[in-house]
A and B are shown apart, each in its own frame.
Chain A
């Protein structure tokens, strides 16, 4: 259970304990939960490491065009001159899938496209979908979860049943089926735009019941607390209680859950791409590269390793950071 976050002035201004214990003892300072958490997080080197990698990845995603310009490559140009045609299927010349100073991570078989730029743009797609879906899930989950927990009665029954039904759906199967029937042009968008929107929608839509359940449970226990009763007796309206009293206390679990939901979303996006219903070629995505690599893995194992490791490193760093954040925000922790 999460204690209310107190952000009001510190006790240090008039420390009775310090007076009692004598002037020589250290001053006792009142710390907000946010600050305690930040101090714990700072001590957790593993979580910080994860956080640093997460930030780097976000930069990579945002700066994808800049990074590609820096190395002078793009994800679409065919470098067929660098392919060895002796095996029938063009395999990259040189070791480790053709890694060199110009092609940092080598080139892909058959087409000879620069893998570094494809990974970088793949990161962009992966992160857009993962964050978009997480945002969607959090908005729906928090709204409906709070409504269910706060209002109770038939609202709760209806929303809880809805969540149960959604959780009973075989999600991956349903996502594949839904994504594959949506038209390629949507809301005047073309290219990979519609597909990205659909991926965000599908992953986010099946993600909200999880966070909804957590928020509902927390709201259910919070609404019986004294501070809510106090607010109510002072004449606060329901909306005020939900936004000003309950929501601040839900921030911690929501933050933790969102951080841990993003790696799941990345895995889901990669899974859909792997199964061929993610963003469509030639737009690069990690899952698509991985499924593409299957036919080459006897001749070009590096092509399989690179997107796989990209997924692994991304998911791992989000998990490390999320775990650290959870421990840091846990009021029971020390």
Chain B
């Protein structure tokens, strides 16, 4: 497993700062390589598609009935007349340094990281992604806060009151929670709270935190809760299982035998060990969500990255699909890196290899 923590010999002296820096540098290099591979595969697949479908990619920009001279001009401007390896090279160069699309005097500058021009809006994909990213980021951040508090809280409570009524009720709910997809709970929640009870207004994708905080909060409430419910269920199960494992460890017995209060034993000794695997999973989940919560955004009509992706797919906007894929892969890879660095910090046994 690439870069996953390997356990070194116990009692090894702590790593020198240069070793840490070297480790971080190597992991960053790994991130770049991973993203390069993702970009290559995505580019390959999505440039193979028009070829398989026997369509000229330029038609996605101009429509079939445009005049041939105009089509040829746009083709030159977007570089679609060049051989595929050159197009790929220009794509990669654009990602790092930006690129200009030009046909004689007609020039469009696409600043780095340039992910191409959207066929729908005829503007750089990057601008659109950064414009819609806050929606996804707020969705993920709000939901993450809720599920961490409730999921971990419930899991700890369940573990401490093992086999009690609370534990059983919590675990039944959690099991139901992991079996309920967002596209069902979300629809039911909208039907109930928006249409039947009328407690919340119909969702409006054009409201932002800046323009109308009150309406924005009402807009985000159901998506947050729905998404958080799914994850909280997983986290409650994971926390309970981990906590029970930890409570069976010798050092917990030792801590109790030393006469430490139960609060200190649980709060300091047990929680620390319990939280390590949970934060690992949390990093991955958050990284995954930041690249677009396609289902949640679709159900609640939020215009974030997931919406962009889906919209790109239905409108055959290949640069957009590639852009979101790369954007999402970036978050997943970075989340991996951060989780590994976190491990190296909290667990001194991890060898920086």
A contact set with B: CB distance below 8 Å: 160-161, 163-165, 167-170, 172-174, 176-178, 180-181, 183, 213, 216-217, 263, 267, 270-271, 274-275, 277, 287, 290-291, 293-294, 297-298, 301, 304-305, 308, 311-312, 315-316, 319-320, 323
Contacts and interface: CB of A to CB of B under 8 A. Distances in A.
Interface residues of B, number: 42
Contacts of B310: 176, 275
Given A165-B38, A170-B324, A275-B298, A263 B179 contact: yes
Contacts of A291: 183
A304 B191 contact: yes
B191 A173 contact: no
B291 to A, nearest CB: 5
B175 interface: yes
A210 B20 CA distance: 29
27 contacts: A161-B2, A164-B1, A165-B34, A165-B37, A168-B333, A169-B325, A169-B329, A173-B306, A173-B324, A177-B321, A178-B45, A181-B49, A181-B52, A181-B53, A270-B183, A274-B183, A274-B298, A275-B310, A297-B191, A298-B191, A304-B188, A308-B184, A312-B179, A315-B179, A315-B181, A316-B175, A319-B179
Contacts of A169: 38, 41, 325, 329, 332
A319 B175 CA distance: 8
B281 interface: no
A242 B2 CA distance: 24
A7 B324 CA distance: 52
Contacts of A287: 183
B187 A160 contact: no
A170 B325 contact: yes
Nearest to B49: A181
A161 B191 CA distance: 44
B329 A170 contact: yes
Contacts of A172: 294-295
B64 to A, nearest CB: 18
Chief secondary structure at chain B's binding surface: helix
B181 A270 contact: yes
User: Which residue of A163, A213, A312 has the most chain B CB atoms within 10 A of its CB atom?
Assistant: A312
Chief secondary structure at chain A's binding surface: helix
B332 A167 contact: yes
Interface in B303-349: 306, 309-310, 313-314, 321, 324-325, 328-329, 332-333, 336
Given A176-B313, A213-B1, A267-B181, A301 B191 contact: yes
Contact of B188 (A213, A308, A319): A308
Contacts of A271: 181, 183, 295
A163 B298 CA distance: 29
B309 to A, nearest CB: 5
A163 B34 CA distance: 11
Contacts of B179: 263, 312, 315-316, 319
Contacts, number: 115
Nearest to B291: A170
B292 interface: yes
A160 B30 CA distance: 13
B195 interface: yes
A290 B182 CA distance: 12
A127 to B, nearest CB: 16
Contacts of B328: 170, 173
Contacts of A160: 1-2
A213 to B, nearest CB: 6
A160 B286 CA distance: 23
Interface string B1-36: 110000000000000000000000000000000100
A216 B324 CA distance: 31
A41 B31 CA distance: 44
B180 A312 contact: yes
Contact of B181 (A174, A216, A311): A311
A320 B188 CA distance: 24
B127 interface: no
A23 B46 CA distance: 76
A173 B325 contact: yes
Contact of A308 (B49, B187, B332): B187
Contact of A164 (B34, B52, B176, B321): B34
B38 A168 contact: yes
A73 to B, nearest CB: 25
* List of 3 A-B pairs having minimum Cβ-Cβ separation, nearest first: A170-B328, A308-B184, A316-B179
B79 interface: no
Interface string B38-49: 100100011001
Nearest to B329: A168
Interface in B67-107: none
Contacts of A213: 1
Contact of B175 (A164, A305, A320): A320
B288 interface: yes
A174 B183 contact: no
Contacts of A180: 313-314
Given A294-B187, A308-B187, A170 B34 contact: no
Contacts of A181: 49, 52-53
Given A161-B2, A167-B332, A169-B38, 11 more contacts: A165-B38, A170-B288, A177-B321, A213-B1, A217-B1, A275-B298, A291-B183, A298-B191, A301-B191, A308-B184, A315-B181
Contacts of B175: 316, 319-320, 323
Nearest to B330: A168
Contact of B295 (A274, A277, A304, A311): A274
A180 B312 CA distance: 11
Interface in B272-297: 288, 291-292, 294-295
B148 interface: no
Contact of B325 (A161, A174, A275, A304): A174
